[in-house]
Structures are given as structure tokens and as C-alpha cells.
Amino acid sequence: MWPLYAAGFTTAFGAHGIAASLGGLSGDAVTSLIVLGGLLALYDGAEVVLKPLFGTLADRVGARPVLLGGLVAFAAASALYAIAGSPGWLWAARLGQGAAASAFSPSASALVARLNPAAGQGRAFGSYGIYKSIGYTLGPLLGGVLVWAGGLRLLFAVLTVLGAAVAVWAAVAVPVVPPLPKARQTLLDLARRLADPVFLAPTAALAGATAALSVGVGFLPVSGRAAGLGTVATGAAVSVLAACAALVQPRAGRALDSGRLTIPGGITAGLLLAAGGLGCAMLPGLTGVLCGAALIGIGTGLITPLGFAALATTTPRERLGQTMGAAELGRELGDAGGPLLVGGLAAAFALPYGYAALAALLVAGAALAIARRAPDGG
């Protein structure tokens, strides 16, 4: 399992480490905000398009070859800019990294599900999630240190070594998991399965959690600055959010496996907690920012392992790659849609209106989850 955790860390570290460093570049690499936006969108755009395709490929040829190929491609794409160092190669490298992550990220999730029994899915995805959270947390910090020490090319060189090392580790330690035989599936069959509430409900919850997380990371510092807080205080708020999410995920997974927590109940609680965090973020001052960060972190930490465990336990094992790829697509849409919603309303009215709108969506999702459970008394 450890190479799979390392793969989760790699995609998170690669995404946020570079994204947080691009804005500080000058000269001919990032010449305008439009160029910056394009470079930021390349990675996520590639993932939105390619993750479902690579997930389906993992079901067809096996998740391990797609995992290894994606990690090798990630190292190769990172090496492009580390060696060449020109603006054109920066675009190519960023696109290549996103495409490669689209291969190894859903494959790693599928292998986490395949290599663990149904009774251990919560613990497995809780552990996987904590290492992705560490990557998201350390990415901006370590990325900034590397760029300060040796420029962006040094960061890409470190990612080259990281991707290659994890690929070798996975080749040695991850067992061969052959693809399972499966019945022929038409596009209509796929559409029906993806529209089924068994898939749609946890995926929507994961998208909502990712939206809240992205908004917290991106906009809580804005609220802090508006309240007169310095960069240390706002940085501490983001760290509180990431730390809460990282600490809660494995505990939520263990509680699920031991029967102390149910998937519907945990996801509903997570949505309400994240919504409460967004409500706290509307309050002025340090207390509102820190309480908002803590509740958003706890809520998303509850939802993430439970959502993936729900998908892993209800999906035919021969379709795990496809399901995880589609679920990752849902998360990417939440990652982009949450900040767009909050930013748009903040520009038109004020930032608290954006927080309120996203909180209302999360509460509506929790209400739907409660309504679905009501008929059977769940």
C-alpha cells in the first residue's frame, strides 16, 4: 500500500507545489494573469478530460500497468522543463504532468480498493487520503522553498526524481492485480450506472467536499486580510484546515470499518460541518477564520474516505477503475466550480454572499441525503 500512498502524495504535491509557485515568476515564463490562468488550468483541464478514460483503461489492461506508466510519464514530463527551461516547454511539461496524473491517480484509487477487503475500505481510503492531504499541505511550502533555492527548474527536477522513485517502488512492491472478466458495456449502460444514486450521491458529496476545501484554501486568507490579519495568521488558518482534514480522515475510516460510523450518516454530518465552517467564515476577525477552517477541514475529512469507500463497496470490482476515474472527475469539477461560484458572487456582491451560497448547496445536499434515508429509517 505504501507506494500507492506515495502516488497520492505525488499528484497532490505536483499540483499544488507548482501552482503556488507560478504566480511569483517574472520575465518570460509568466507574462500576465491570463498566462498564469492558462498554466494553472492545464493540469486540471487534462485531468477532467482524461481521468475517466484512463480509469476505463485500467479496468481493461489492469490498474498496475496504468499506474506505472502514469508515474513514468509524470517523471518524463517534469524532466522536460527541468532540462529545457524555456516557456514553451513549461506549457508542455504542465500539460504532460496533468495527463500523467490522470493515469496514475484513479489507478492508485482502484488498487487501494482491490488490495483491501470490503471490511477495510474505510481504513484504506482514510490512509490514502491523509497522504494526499500532506501533499496538498506541503506542496506550496516545499515548492516555494525549492523555487527560492534554485528556481522553478529545481522544483521540476525534484518532481522528476519523485515520480521516477515512486514508479520504481511501485514496480517492486505493488503486486500484479489482473483485470477481472466483465460483461460488455454499452454507452447507455455506462450512463445508467453513473446516473444511479449509488454512484451519484457519494460522488456529489466528494465534489461538494472538494469545493469547500478549495474555497477554504483560496478565500479564507482573503477574509483574514480584510479583517486586518497578517500573512502569518492567514497562513495558520489554511494550515489548521489542512491539519484537521488530515487528522480526521484515518479516524473516519477506522470508525466506518468498526461499525461506529455509517456512510450516509458520516457524509451527512460532513456536509453540515463544512457548511457550518463556511458560515463561520462569514464572521469577522480571527475567530471566524479559524473556526471556519477547522470545521471545513473536519467536514471534508469525514466525507473523503467515506465517499470513496462507498464507491469501492458498491461498484463491481471489474469496473473500479472506471468508477474511480469518474469520481475523480466529479472532484475536479467541485475543485473548479466552488471557487468560481464564490469568486463570482464575491465580485458581484461581497465575499460572505459567496460563502453563503456554497453553504446552502452543501446543506441542500445533506437534506437530500437525509430524505433518501428516511423511508427505510436509516
Residue-wise pLDDT for 87-118, tens only, equals 788 889 988 998 998 888 888 888 888 888 87
CA–CA distances in Å: residue 281 to residues 190, 236, 241, 357? 40, 15, 12, 12
pLDDT value of residue 186: 47
Residues 6+ apart with CB under 8 A from 87: 28, 29
Q: What is the pLDDT of residues 139-198, one digit of tens each?
A: 777 877 888 888 888 989 999 999 999 999 999 999 888 775 554 544 555 556 566 777
Instruction: Give residue 285's region: left, alpha or beta (phi > 0; psi -120 to 50).
Output: left
Q: Is the pLDDT of residue 235 over 60?
A: yes
Q: What is the pLDDT of residues 63-94, one digit of tens each?
A: 899 999 999 999 999 999 999 878 788 889 98
pLDDT value of residue 169: 95
Query: Hey, how many other C-beta atoms are within 10 angstroms of the C-beta on 348?
Result: 9
pTM (predicted TM-score): 0.74
User: In this structure, are residues 276 and 211 in contact, taking their beta carbons and an 8 Å threshold?
Assistant: no
Across the chain, mean pLDDT equals 82
CA–CA distances in Å: residue 300 to residues 57, 129, 208, 213, 252? 29, 11, 9, 7, 11
Cell of 222: 482573503
Cell of 126: 482514510
Spatial distance between the Cα atoms of 160 and 13, rounded to a whole number of angstroms: 12
pLDDT value of residue 14: 84
Q: What is the pLDDT of residues 353-366, one digit of tens each?
A: 999 999 999 999 99
Q: Dihedral angle at the C-alpha atoms of 363, 365, 371, 373, nearest 10 degrees?
A: -110
Cell of 148: 527560492
User: In this structure, are residues 25 and 43 in contact, taking their beta carbons and an 8 Å threshold?
Assistant: no
More confident residue, 127 or 361: 361
Q: What is the pLDDT of residues 331-356, one digit of tens each?
A: 878 877 888 888 888 888 888 999 99
Q: List b or e across 61-87, with b for residues whose CB sees 16 or more CB atoms inside 10 angstroms.
A: ebbbebbbbbbbbbbbbbbbbbeeeeb
Query: Hey, how many other C-beta atoms are within 10 angstroms of the C-beta on 49?
Result: 14
Residues 6+ apart with CB under 8 A from 162: 10, 13, 14, 75
